[in-house]
Amino acid sequence: MTTQYSSGRRGSSGTLLAVLLALILGAVTMVVFLRRANSGFAGRIANAIASRPVVTEVSAPDVVEKIQRLSRLETVVYSIDTVVEGSKSSTVLPDLIAGDRILLVVHGQSIAGIDLSKLKPEDVRITRNNGVRAIRVTLPASQVFVTTIDNQHTRVYARTTGLLVPADQNLESETRTRAQQQLQQSALADGILDAARKNAISTVTTLLYGLGFQQVVVN
């Protein structure tokens, strides 16, 4: 009787070769992935695997476009309550006879900020020094966008009319208009434009750091 044995060495060699090929193919795939994954979800995975920062190059026009997305950046709301007087007098008769006087308790607000649609490519300068990406941005001037009187919270506090004249129907609207002008002047005197610029600088600076710049100057 003849007994035949199979040593199994040929099968083991084939399996080992397949494993080596799989490892080589996996290593090559990983290298290609790490080289090409620079942004998005793939970039985050590459960063976690290789512990390297994901760098996305941003040009000056790109920066302008991203900043302009903020549009009219309203950064300060200045509110005030005050009393405003309006009056009309006769050049001949005393106010007791022909005068008209009104006191308004006025509530209003001024809104200020920066119109970032006015930002131009020449206002953005990007440099690279020793691998450090820096950017300098010069913002447009801050401005008061709007000043309004809150009619629901504005009321007549007192009204006196001379003995011989009727109340002037236009006096209240004229006083409201003057109150709006005084409110804006008060906001400007209290530094609303400086506050608006400082807040805008802070917002844009945060945006630029988020775009990957290591040094940011906004003025």
Q: In a 3-state reduction of DSSP, which class is residue 85? A: strand
Total count of domains within the chain: 2
Q: In a 3-state reduction of DSSP, which class is residue 107? A: strand
Residue 81 lies in a domain: yes
What confidence category does residue 213 fall into, taking pLDDT thresholds of 50, 70 and 90? very high
What confidence category does residue 70 fall into, taking pLDDT thresholds of 50, 70 and 90? confident
Q: Of residues 184 and 23, which shows the higher confidence score?
A: 184
Q: Does residue 26 carry a pLDDT above 80?
A: no
Q: What is the mean predicted confidence (pLDDT) over 67-76?
A: 87
Same domain, residue pair 46 and 63: no
pLDDT for res 37: 54
Same domain, residue pair 147 and 43: no
Same domain, residue pair 133 and 167: yes
pLDDT digits (tens, 9 = 90+) for 92-110: 788 788 788 999 999 999 9
Residue 186 lies in a domain: yes
Residue 108 lies in a domain: yes
Residue 124 lies in a domain: yes
Task: State the DSSP string of 120-187.
Answer: -GGGEEEEEETTEEEEEE-PPPEEEEEEEE-GGG-EEEEEEE-TTSPPPTTHHHHHHHHHHHHHHHHH
Same domain, residue pair 89 and 181: yes
pTM of the model: 0.65
Which residue range(s) make up the domain with 17?
9-56
Residue 2 lies in a domain: no
